[in-house]
Structure formats: C-alpha cells, structure tokens
Amino acid sequence: MTSPQRILLERMFRAAVAAADPAVCVPPHLPKSPKGRTLVLGAGKAAASMARAVERHWDGPLQGLVVTRYGHAVQCDRIEVVEASHPVPDAAGLAAAQRILDLARGLGPDDLALCLISGGGSALLTLPAEGLTLGDKQVVNAALLKSGANITEMNCVRKHLSAIKGGRLAVACGPARVVTLVISDVPGDDPSVIASGPTVADITTFADARDILRRYGIDAPRAVIEHLERAADETPKPGDTRLATCETRMIATALGSLDAAAAVAKAAGYVPFILGDSIEGEARDVALVHAAIARHVALRSEPVGRPCAILSGGETSVTVRHKGRGGRNAEFLLALAKALGGHAGVHAFAGDTDGIDGTEDNAGAFIGPDTLARAAALGLKAADYLDRNDACSFFERHGDLLITGPTLTNVNDFRAILVE
C-alpha cells in the first residue's frame, strides 16, 4: 500500500511543476505588439509549451521557430516546433539553430524578437563557432556531462564554442527590440547561464573556458583547443551597445516552485523549511548534508519543529566513474537512504521538474524508513549500486520510481524530506 507520506511527496512535486507551467507563467509577461513583425524564437525543454502559450494569448500576427527536446513538442499553429537531442547535441539541433540565426538577421527596427528560453537550450541550440564541427561539440559536451562540472562551468565552455549562444543571438536580432522570457533551471537564476544566455551579455571569457577544461582534465579535440586559444570572437559583455534594445523577464524559478510545494506541505500539517533554491555540489555529498539536517530535526526538533517538510532546489552534479543508469536525483536519494540508515519517520523524494532524471524515463524516486530493509530482502546492497552510479536500477527494482513523462517545463531539481 502506498504510504500517506509518499502521496504527499508526489503532490508537492506536482505542485512545484504546476507553478512553472508556461500556460500559467507566460501570459502575464507578454510585451505589447510592435509596429512591425513579431518573430518568436526559442530553445529549451519548455520552448514548445511556451510557444503554445504565446499563440493562445497573442494579439496580432505571429510567426517563428523554437527547438525543444525529443518528446517535448506540442502542437502550435503559427510557430514551428523542431525536436532535437539533449543533453548531447545532434544535427537536428544544429539545423534548427542555423535557421533561428538566419531568421533573426532579417529583423528591422520596428520588429519584435520574442525569445523563449528554458533549461536544455544549450544542447538544443547548437551552432559551432567558425572552424569547429558538430562532432567537436559533441565530444566536449559528453565529457563535460561526466566530469562533475557544474552548470555554470559547462555553459561557459559552451558559449565560447558557439556562434549563437552567449548573447550572439541578440546581436543578430539587432536593430529589433528583443524581449526574452526565461524559465530558470540554474542555481541563482542567472539569465546568462540559462541555456547559455543566447540573448544576454556574458561576463565569462575564453580564458575561463580554457581553465575549466584544464581543471576537469577534459581531453578536447585539437580544433577546440586552438579555437579557445585564439580567442578571436569574444562574447558581448555588459554595456555592449548592440544589446541596448534587449530586455529579459524571469517568469518562473525554482524558488517559486518550492514555495508552491511548501504551501501543499503546510496545508497537510507539516512545517515547511526551505534550505535554498541554489544548492550545488556532488549529489552524494549534498545528500550527506540533507541527511544530517533531517536527523537533527528528528532528534531535537531544531531548527524547525516536527512534523516538517525540508525542501531544496538547485542542480547537483555527478562525477561518472562507471556505466550505471544514473541520474543525479536517484544518486542523491540512494546516498541519502544510505546515510539515514533506515531512520524512523523520515521519507523523501527527489526529482527533476522536467520529468526526466538524467537520460532515463523517470522524474525521480522515493525513499522511506524501510528502503534499505526491502533492498536487503532482495539481496541488493545500496553501496554497490551507488559505487556503480546505478541508482536508477536500484529504485526500479523496488518500484520506487516516479514516471510522469515530459512535464514541458523545467526549474531544475526538486528535493523534499518529510520528518514525522
């Protein structure tokens, strides 16, 4: 029988996702129609659902093109939707990015470029800088994903290997007005990091990108190294006059979704305690901290009384050492269960708000006080699965995965721990 805690945890997660639904958060932030044309351009896991929301609420002519992840498309009438690969880019994403850039270059001073940006846009909006190939970018991207680098570091490198990210799309839109609607999937909600900031000024440099590759020991193709060393085409920086007509509007964030989940917990009689919306680090290390906090609350009712719901957001990372099925939320949960050691009265969920944890078909998973005992009865050792980066398989054996399908939005990871 499904426990009341598991039911509540799923309700909290779904409330967090609903708070970032483009149908809800796009319409209040739409600009006025321009004198000239309105061109919609976009990239990300939520790009198609954002485009549909624009179509349903836009007063006037409209056209455009957005690229989203395979399986995340929705029907639009005036805005073309293209699907491409994520997290490693493919030829479909390259072709879409080139078309988006070409469309942007045809705008005039009376026109509006309405850009729809959400998490996942870096891989989907892939257009190699001059002298680089799609293969070069695929190699670097795959290596970054396994390296343990955080999203800010990964996107710094991606910007400096791109012909469209790091503010370059906005430059191409000139002299038109550019309004960017952003659904944030990064800690701190920095628009220059979300989808590698295609319409936003960039403070990072080629030197930063070179340093990141060195720091994580990434063996990049020779063409990539030479491109970064030449540093011939730096991204536009704050104050660049080419971005003078650009405006960015943050329409959904992790904190907003955590607040929505907290309201559900409070209505159920739990005291909500939000640790933060910008938590980063190795998933298993973040789990140790969360476990320590949960044990402290369980034993001492500090810093919050019981029953409580401990909530957090952000994006953890995983240094992949073996060929397990991941993903980062499953790895967080397995490390959390191991650290809690079956502590009575503690239940938890962790998942990705886009509905896909890593590259698998699940959003996340649940644990409870009996997780390790049930594993032992099946002959499973949590430590072995954790060592293999194979947490997804562990929870699949238990029937503890949550499968939602693509949610068509993305405000990053969601974690909730109930302490009775």
Instruction: Tell whether 26 and 175 lie within a shared domain.
Output: yes
Pick from 360, 361, 367, 280: which is nearest to 326 by CA? 360
Where residue 345 sits, what CATH number does that domain have? 3.40.1480.10
> Among the three residues 252, 278, 307, which one is the final residue of a domain in this structure?
252
Under a CB-based contact definition with an 8 Å cutoff, are residues 25 and 2 in contact?
A: no
Q: What are phi and psi of 138, to 5 degrees?
A: -65, -40
Alpha carbon of residue 89 to chain centroid: 15
Under a CB-based contact definition with an 8 Å cutoff, are residues 348 and 367 in contact?
A: yes
Instruction: Tell whether 247 and 260 lie within a shared domain.
Output: no
Instruction: Tell whether 155 and 226 lie within a shared domain.
Output: yes
Percent of the chain with pLDDT over 70: 99
Does the model's pTM come out above 0.85? yes
pLDDT at residue 324 greater than cutoff 80: no
Instruction: Tell whether 33 and 159 lie within a shared domain.
Output: yes
Confidence at 372, pLDDT banded by 50, 70, 90: very high
> Among the three residues 233, 252, 271, which one is the final residue of a domain in this structure?
252
Instruction: Tell whether 225 and 343 lie within a shared domain.
Output: no
Pick from 118, 109, 123: which is nearest to 41 by CA? 118
Give the total number of structural domains in the chain. 2
Question: Would you state the pLDDT for residue 318?
Answer: 86
Instruction: Tell whether 78 and 126 lie within a shared domain.
Output: yes
Give the span between the Cα atoms of 287 and 252, in whole angstroms.
26
Angle between helices 328-340 and 283-300 (to 10 degrees): 40
Instruction: Tell whether 212 and 311 lie within a shared domain.
Output: no
Q: Average of pLDDT values for 293-314? A: 95
Percent of the chain with pLDDT over 90: 92
Instruction: Tell whether 230 and 282 lie within a shared domain.
Output: no
Instruction: Tell whether 240 and 122 lie within a shared domain.
Output: yes
Largest CA distance in the chain: 69
On the 0-12 / 13-18 / 19+ scale of CB atoms within 10 A, 403 is exposed
Residue 183, CA distances (Å) to 190, 293, 404 in order: 11, 30, 20
Q: Average of pLDDT values for 34-62? A: 97
Exposure string over 365-382, b if 16+ CB within 10 A, otherwise e: bbbbbebbeebeeeeeeb
Instruction: Tell whether 242 and 267 lie within a shared domain.
Output: no
> Among the three residues 252, 270, 293, which one is the final residue of a domain in this structure?
252
Q: What are phi and psi of 27, to 5 degrees?
A: -55, -40
Give the span between the Cα atoms of 61 and 21, in whole angstroms.
24
Instruction: Tell whether 226 and 292 lie within a shared domain.
Output: no
Where residue 102 sits, what CATH number does that domain have? 3.40.50.10180
Instruction: Tell whether 160 and 295 lie within a shared domain.
Output: no
Its domain, for residue 410, covers: 4-15+255-419
Under a CB-based contact definition with an 8 Å cutoff, are residues 311 and 262 in contact?
A: yes
Confidence at 326, pLDDT banded by 50, 70, 90: low
Confidence at 148, pLDDT banded by 50, 70, 90: confident
Place of tokens 């001059």: 130
Pick from 408, 417, 402: which is nearest to 10 by CA? 402
